[in-house]
Amino acid sequence: MATTVNIIVGSHVWVEDRDTAWVDGEVTKVNGEKIEVQTTSGKKVVANLSNVYPKDTEAPPAGVDDMTKLSYLHEPGVLQNLATRYELNEIYTYTGNILIAVNPFRRLPHLYDTHMMEQYKGATFGELSPHVFAVADAAYRAMINEGKSNSILVSGESGAGKTETTKMLMRYLAYMGGRAATEGRTVEQQVLESNPVLEAFGNAKTVRNNNSSRFGKFVELQFDKTGRISGAAVRTYLLERSRVCQLSDPERNYHCFYLLCAAPPEDIKRYKLGNPKSFHYLNQTNCYELDGVSDAEEYLNTRKAMDIVGISPEEQDSIFRVVAAILHLGNINFTKGKEVDSSMPKDDKSRFHLEMAAELLMCNVQGLENALCKRVMVTREETIIKSLDPDAATTNRDALAKTIYSRMFDWIVEKINNSIGQDPDSKNLIGVLDIYGFESFKANSFEQFCINFTNEKLQQHFNQHVFKMEQEEYTKEEINWSYIEFVDNQDVLDLIEKKPGGIIALLDEACMFPKSTHETFTQKLYQTFNNHKRFSKPKLSRTDFTIVHYAGLFPPLPEESSKSSKFSSIGTRFKQQLQSLMETLSSTEPHYIRCVKPNNILKPAIFENQNVIQQLRCGGVLEAIRISCAGYPTRRTFDEFLDRFGLLAPEVLEGNYDEMTACEKLLEKKGLKGFQIGKTKVFLRAGQMAELDARRAEVISNAAKVIQRQIRTYIARKEFVALRKAATHLQTLWRGKLARKLYEEIKREAAAIKIQKNVRGYHARKTYTKLRLSAIVVQAALRAMAARNEFRFRKQTKAAIIIQAQWRGHRSYSYYKSMKRAGLSVQCAWRSKVARKELRKLKMAARETGALKEAKDKLEKKVEELTWRLQLEKRLRTDLEEAKAQDIAKLQLSLQAMQVQLDEANATLVKEREAARKAIEDAPPVIKEMPVVVVDTEKVDLLTNENEELKTLLKSQEKRADEAERKCAEVQELSEERLKKMEEAESKIDQLQESFQRLEEKLSNLESENQVLRQQALVMSPTKGLSGRSKTAVIQDLQSPVPALKDAAEAEQRPQKALNDRQQENQDALIKCIMQDIGFSGGRPVAASIIYKSLFHWRSFEAERTNVFDRIIQIIGSAIEENNDVLAYWLSNTSTLLLLLQRTLKASGAAGMTPQRRRSSSATLFGRMAQGFRTSPSGTGLSFSNGGMIGGLDALRQIEAKYPALLFKQQLTAYVEKIYGMIRDNLKKEISPLLGLCIQAPRTSRASLVRGSARSHANAAAQQALIGHWQSIVKSLSNFLKTLRANYVPPFLVRKVYTQIFSFINVQLFNSLLLRRECCSFSNGEYVKAGLAELEHWCYEATEEYVGTAWDELKHIRQAVGFLVIHQKPKKSLDEITHDLCPVLSIQQLYRISTMYWDDKYGTHSVAPDVIASMRVLMTEDSNNALSNSFLLDDDSSIPFSVDDISKSMNQIDLSEIEPPPLIRQNSAFNFLLPRAE
């Protein structure tokens, strides 16, 4: 409905165009009812104001996904929206709850994979992007929730993609309601597998489609109470029978004819077939083959499909015999017979084809000929046989061929239904109707008449449904509405089907009379419907008539269409089928899919407006729009309406009104009438949106003028200020130049004086410097000569010393090396001789068990002897060291005493000399001088002699000290030599001990072999004799004492039974303990510790049979529940226990072998290297009884585990993975509902943000509430981390959990962003970016130890959000986007974000069109890769670690100081768990 108001100069409008249907342009002149429009193509068009539609200039560049959201809901707006979306590969668009599917003519596998089905599973209709899966899901959910059957009506013209759409619907319904097959195939698989068979016999090439369905198909999927598919049925309607006999170029007949002609040679020979060109029913066109399709391969595929659907080989042969017979029937030509108005086969060729047809149909040749050439009329009195002329016989032949083919097709459908099976107890079903659209050709047959009649009925059903939806929308919004008129085609339906008096009824009546002709039938129609507005008569025809129905004029029927008497039954039967179909559809809730073919050349990326608009008209889409326009075509939510038109009344926004009141006041202020205010939306009449937009454009225009005026004022003032500033600056520069010139003259005069002064000084300095340098050069030369002479002398002296030192060192070192080599050679030779002798002895001794035992005794004696010698050496060494220490102490004491005496003697001598000197000085001069001198001289001599004696004594003491030191050095050398011998003895003892252990191990292996042999000897039957190996001497010796061995075994079982009872009690105590939550000790799980220590102490890892592992696994399995605390507790314990097993156990070389195989295991590498605590009594010292493992797990040697222990390790690994997966999935379940709220920011209208200061606090609270959902996610993550840390879950596993959780967040947010256009906005990007900042802050606080690289998992959503909030998108090149901004995102993902982007905040645009075009080119080049085409991410739910990863990532665990729980501590059997007392 065009609007006649508010079209002014400058308005953007749509005008009709002959080539493109509609073209947009700008109004340049308005002259009454005529306007002049400058189109975007450059033309000037004059149009009527009533034929012009307004254009929405603010429509999103990528279109809208639901056309009810269009501001102007009219024909050009719908066409433009579809074209825009098709250009962006968005082939699906909603119109309310109607899905429009535009055929892309290319494969888009990413749109139909399993991951896409998972996205639409349970999603609200309209929440995600339009998709065929959304319609299927809505039908399935409605059936499950409401318990009512649903139907999906797929319509469109040939080539629009109806069949492919139906397949996708079936796939999704099979995905939702599929169940396991009882005999290998499910019901839905059988339905899908029936498609190739139906296509082979019901599809053909037409002008518009290479695989056009020439029949209507209604597939009923029956569901049980649980929503699972329980049965199915295929209903077919109106096969195009006329195609069997009549073709138009360049179409083909049904595929099966060409497939049979391309069959293997044996089949062609059997059916007497040949080239398709030789058959009349096939050579009416020049098209025999399809591009890219092999008829021979399709024949084999059809055969396989028939096998799958349950058609036996005999039945297949019958089907193809009928097909071949029809081809032979078509080649039967007739000529005039001998009688008047009779006919007969024309020639031998026709006779041959008649015989072949009779043979293939298994009937009499003459009977077939009579049936073709004669007509039998049965009356009450007699049977009349009438001959037919050649033309009538030909018509009879074609009628027979059509009837046979139709019956065969019906039989195939019935066979398929019987194979699939129906559920009689099913209460609900979902029907999928795949039926052709309106058809109109130059020559229309009865089939076209019935096709269009069917579509008229469906169109009436569609109109009623759309009208009902409109009423439901108005009722839901609680608005007042009046009756809305829509095009009702009931008069056309009455014209065709009404009884009596309808066209079909009149045709049936005419066919009852044998003399009826075309003329009589058409004359009857002319008389009956002469004044009917839907019926008209062509001027130049006597047998044609035209019906004006919904799709337009229906041209006249050809003459042959009503000639046959069969039409009464065909018309009535078809009418009954159609009535049954309409009753089925009326009893179900309908869903509509309108398929559209964008072009007639079947090529991608071509959108023909004229072709599409015609299909939209015929498909009822525009009628649905007209119904909407008759009511309230424009509907806007309150916030959207205020955001767009709030500027028309700012005072309303500033007032304290709610959104509903504000919208009402705004509309009343603008004087609009007839609008309605619903509960959540504003409903506007047709034209009111254009009026509001015109007023809005006027306000914006006035505002723009004000802005322009202010800008021009600003520019003028800016120019004036700049000019004034320039003049001032010029004056300043000129005055500065004059001042600089004066300053330059003064500066030059001062510079000249300064230069003269400096030049004179320079000459004086130059002369002085030259003289000074000459003196320095002479002095330097003399000093250098003296220094060089001194250096030369010192260099020669040093060189001579170095040469002497090197030579002496070389001579000594050469002598030392020769002596050392000689000593080593002698030692090696001697040791080799001794070792070879010892080796020969050991080899001799190791040949038999007795020798081994003797060697063992000898080695034990030798070890004892060496131990005794070692102890003796230690005692001798200790005594020697003590004696040496005593001698040294005595010598040191005597030396100290002598030193003291010497010091005293020296002191006395000094004192005496001083006294003598003083006495001589103090004595007076006397006559008796000589005696005094003599006396003093004697004293001096005496003292001198004493001094000499003391020196002699000192020398003797020094000699004694030197001798003592020498003896001490000798003793020390002797001690060191003995120490070396002792170390050699110790190393030899170690070697002997190792040899002893190896021999003892070999002995134990031999004993185990002997025990196995004894057991075999016990169980062997004495009547079977001896075989192979049992004939050896060892087995013969073992067979004799069988009774004695049995007695010994019984005697050994008694203490063994008591030991087993005690072990069972200990196991019960352990199981009872670990069933309780015994917590942690120092961050280490107590349960894992006591389990490992107990199993280690009991040597359960080495046991061939034990049930303790199964009991532990059962306890773990029964303790697991959905509680996260319990899961975290057991994850900590199981991972720790698995770590201990991984680092302690090793696979046994004989594990899992049979006893016969295990006999030879001791000779293998693992048998020779076998180690364990059973080899020596000292092995028990490594158990936990005395607090072993203080040094951690590295202090233990690995245990050779048996099969039960290895199985226990595998089961424990499975439980670690299971518990990890449960914890991860629990967290996913908790945050999944929040993620749906976090991807889209809550809508806040502009009105709520600008209503004055009174709302400032409320706005702040609203802004705080925006981030509340993200904070809830952060809270959940923190609570989980708190639980995991409280249970001491290894940080490695915590990091893996959060890495996968963040990957899940990334996948969910990113996929939702790509599937929901409302999320790809600027404001939404800011909202998600703020939420991601909350997550980043949480990762920082949680530390890298527990979070690891989880933040990096959000790379897709981070880069996508970063791209959304960029302001200058049009300036970014493709290279910048793909390499700098979004290197992680694929081209498909960037393309989808770029095309879906819209800015609801600042009005910014997406990337440049050339960038979009480049993306499309890259996508087309890579379109064959299904993985690269997929733009959605997959969630990885696998286990991201292995046992080796756990072993490498977790630290050593010290189990020595873990306190056992009281229940275990009180049991004396568990004393080995108690910590070791220091």
User: What are the catalytic residues?
Assistant: 158-159, 163, 209, 212-213, 437, 439
DSSP per-residue codes, 454-477 = HHHHHHHHHHHHHHHHHHHHHHHH
Token pair of 796 as six digits = 């020669």
> Which amino acid would we find at residue 608?
E
State how far the Cα of 1257 lies from the Cα of 1246, in Å rounded to an integer.
16
> What pairing do the DSSP bridges indicate for beta strands 12-17 and 21-31?
antiparallel
The maximal CA–CA distance of the chain, rounded, in angstroms, is 214
592: closest CA among 675, 468, 684? 468
Burial of 193 (0-12, 13-18, 19+ CB in 10 A): buried
675: closest CA among 643, 666, 469, 656? 666
State how far the Cα of 277 lies from the Cα of 288, in Å rounded to an integer.
8
DSSP per-residue codes, 180-226 = --SSS--HHHHHHHTHHHHHHHHEE--SS-TTEE-SEEEEEEEE-TT
Which 3 state secondary structure label does DSSP give 21?
strand
1164: closest CA among 1147, 1179, 1182? 1147
Burial of 42 (0-12, 13-18, 19+ CB in 10 A): exposed
Strand partners, 1146: 1200
The DSSP 8-state label assigned to residue 888 in this structure reads H
State how far the Cα of 1060 lies from the Cα of 1063, in Å rounded to an integer.
5
Edge-first strand listing for the sheet containing 546-549 = 535-536, 546-549, 552-554
Token pair of 1258 as six digits = 């409320």
- Are the CB atoms for 412 and 201 separated by under 8 Å? yes
Strand partners, 231: 222
State how far the Cα of 202 lies from the Cα of 789, in Å rounded to an integer.
121
Token pair of 949 as six digits = 């004696």
3-state secondary structure string across 1136-1198:
HHHHHHHHHEEECCCCCCCHHHHCCHHHCHHHHHCCCHHHCHHHHHHCHHHCCCCCCHHHCCC
State how far the Cα of 218 lies from the Cα of 1331, in Å rounded to an integer.
49
Encode 486-500: b = buried (16+ Cβ within 10 Å), e = exposed. Answer: eeebeebbebbbeee
DSSP per-residue codes, 548-575 = EETTEEEPPPPGGGGTSTTHHHHHHHHH
Within 10 angstroms of residue 285's Cβ, the number of other Cβ atoms is 14
Token pair of 491 as six digits = 């008069």
State how far the Cα of 652 lies from the Cα of 1245, in Å rounded to an integer.
14
CA 207 → CA 94, 212, 248, 381, 1198, distances in Å?
A: 29, 9, 9, 51, 79
The beta-strand segments (E) located in 938-1002 are none
Which 3 state secondary structure label does DSSP give 668?
helix
CA 1313 → CA 23, 747, 1319, distances in Å?
A: 33, 76, 5
Give the H or E element holding residue 852: helix 849-922
